[in-house]
Amino acid sequence: MGIVIMKFGGAALADVESIRRAADLVRAAVEESRAARHPAGSEKPELNSVLAVVSAMDGVSESLTTAARAAEGADLSVARRVCAALRQRHIEAARSLAPDASAGAEAEIESIIAALDARLQGVRLVAELSDRSMDEIVAAGDRLGSILLALALGAPSLDARTILRTDSRFGRARPDAVATSRLATERLLPLLGPGRVAVTQGAIGSDSLGSATTLGPSGADYSSSLFGAALHASEVRVWTDAEGILTGDPRIVPDAGTVEVLGYEEASELVAFGARILHPATIRPALEAGIPVTVRCFSAPAGRFTTIRPGGQSGKAVVALAMRRQVAIVSVRQEAMMDQAGFLARFFAAFGRLGVSVDLVSTSEICVSVSLDMSAPLERVEDELAELGTVDIATDRAVIAVVGDILVEAPVILRKTFEALGDLDIDMLSMGANDINLSIALREEVAELALKRLHEAFFGHPAEVPHKGGGA
């Protein structure tokens, strides 16, 4: 028997049918190990237990934000319309999911909507929408969503605010992993015996004073990972709109296939260079606890999926490609650069003074180049660097990252890279310090062509590896 954490986003709660499908997936996860045999060979079935971690129904968080902004602007009519619409939507869904057992769920929905309405009236009275009030308002959406999935499963729904402890940075709260682990053990674990299911919310918690907090972007992934680590889960499953993590951006490479296994460091590199996958920082608690995280497709649950496993690398020479646009290349040329002690220190200090982060770094005897986001104050960067030498800034560039265990086949990878790019001019070529990222900077106007060529060189046309959706 093992505990499986299953995270469902808003798309999985888009409507009644989606909620029923999510409930079916939970039930299937419970039954997965029924046929498993004990080491002694007995036929006694082993059942998993499942903690479902859910977000608000599709579009609800946006509606709540609209209501909050309207209340702040003294337009309470919009806030009231949103509350009425949310009440109707969730009560109708509850009655459809369990016509004969929805009374308790309806009472909970009414209570949450009443508290939400009062909170919005308070925002209207003070004409101010604090981060604390916004978190209280947004938290209502996740709570409503969890009521519906719990109803579909006939399972208890626990308020995540009583389990996930955070600091008081409203909007982007940081979890207290130790306190959360203790509370999860006390309040969740007793509900998760063999074959049992419980439901809680994804992106919300509370601070030491009991005020609701939210974890910011990818908060539900983060919560799922924290709960998984606290409960010593066997797996964390993140349900998305794609069959796992893909070998390239499907908007550019339509035949991109599914990556079967990915290491944590590889996932981090892909995100850093623009891949649309869950952020590695949010799943780090689970991976550090030795728990694999799988990324699966909600609309094709029997399809391919990606396993992000504990450890740095997948063992494959090239696992996936990613691309980041709107990049600038800043170069300083100084004939006597290598004879000047502290030259590089002064070079990087200039970026530090401006609060600008650099990405790729390339040096030669007389030139040093770095890449950075084009949103950086490029004119000020040029002024700061002028005293060090001749400054050149190339804009409208893109960076393509070839990610994998590059050292396994470094000569082959370099040869394929240069052959694929052929007549395309390269501004920079940089190998990451961790040896799992070969980065190529070039003009943005040819970047998509370069990505297609590289994908063909490393992955061919994997027509036998179809995928669903547009990315994780």
Closest CA to 31 of 7, 52, 9, 2: 2
- Give the N- to C-terminal CA distance of the chain in Å, as an integer: 29
Query: Distance between CA atoms of 221 and 210, rounded to whole angstroms?
Result: 22
Are the C-beta atoms of residues 139 and 204 closer than 8 Å to each other? yes
Instruction: Indicate the burial class of 317 (C-beta count within 10 angstroms; 0-12, 13-18, 19 or more).
Output: middle
Query: Distance between CA atoms of 94 and 54, rounded to whole angstroms?
Result: 16
Mean pLDDT of 76-87: 94
**pLDDT for position 405:** 87
The pTM for the full model equals 0.85
Predicted confidence (pLDDT) at residue 467 exceeds the cutoff of 50 = no
In this structure, of 99-103, 327-331, 445-449, the range with the lowest mean pLDDT score is 99-103
Q: Note the pLDDT tens digit of each residue in 311-336.
A: 767 888 999 999 999 999 999 998 76
Instruction: Please give the C-alpha separations between residue 393 and each of 136, 370, 372, 376, in angstroms, as whole numbers.
Output: 46, 10, 10, 12
Predicted confidence (pLDDT) at residue 192 exceeds the cutoff of 50 = yes
Query: Distance between CA atoms of 135 and 133, rounded to whole angstroms?
Result: 5
Contacts 24+ apart (CB under 8 A), 345-349: 346/388, 347/385, 347/388
Q: Note the pLDDT tens digit of each residue in 114-148.
A: 999 999 999 999 999 999 999 999 999 999 999 99
Predicted confidence (pLDDT) at residue 465 exceeds the cutoff of 50 = no
Mean pLDDT of 29-42: 64
Are the C-beta atoms of residues 239 and 25 closer than 8 Å to each other? yes
**pLDDT for position 335:** 77
Confidence of residue 282 (pLDDT cuts 50, 70, 90): confident
* All domains in the chain, ordered by first residue: 3-240 (3.40.1160.10), 320-459 (3.30.2130.10)
42 Cβ contact list (under 8 Å, min separation 6): none
Query: Distance between CA atoms of 452 and 459, rounded to whole angstroms?
Result: 10
Q: Note the pLDDT tens digit of each residue in 366-413.
A: 889 999 999 999 999 999 999 899 999 999 999 999 999 887 788 899
Confidence of residue 7 (pLDDT cuts 50, 70, 90): very high
Q: In the beta sheet, which residues pair with residue 5?
A: 51, 236
Q: Note the pLDDT tens digit of each residue in 207-248.
A: 999 999 999 888 899 999 999 999 999 999 999 988 888 999
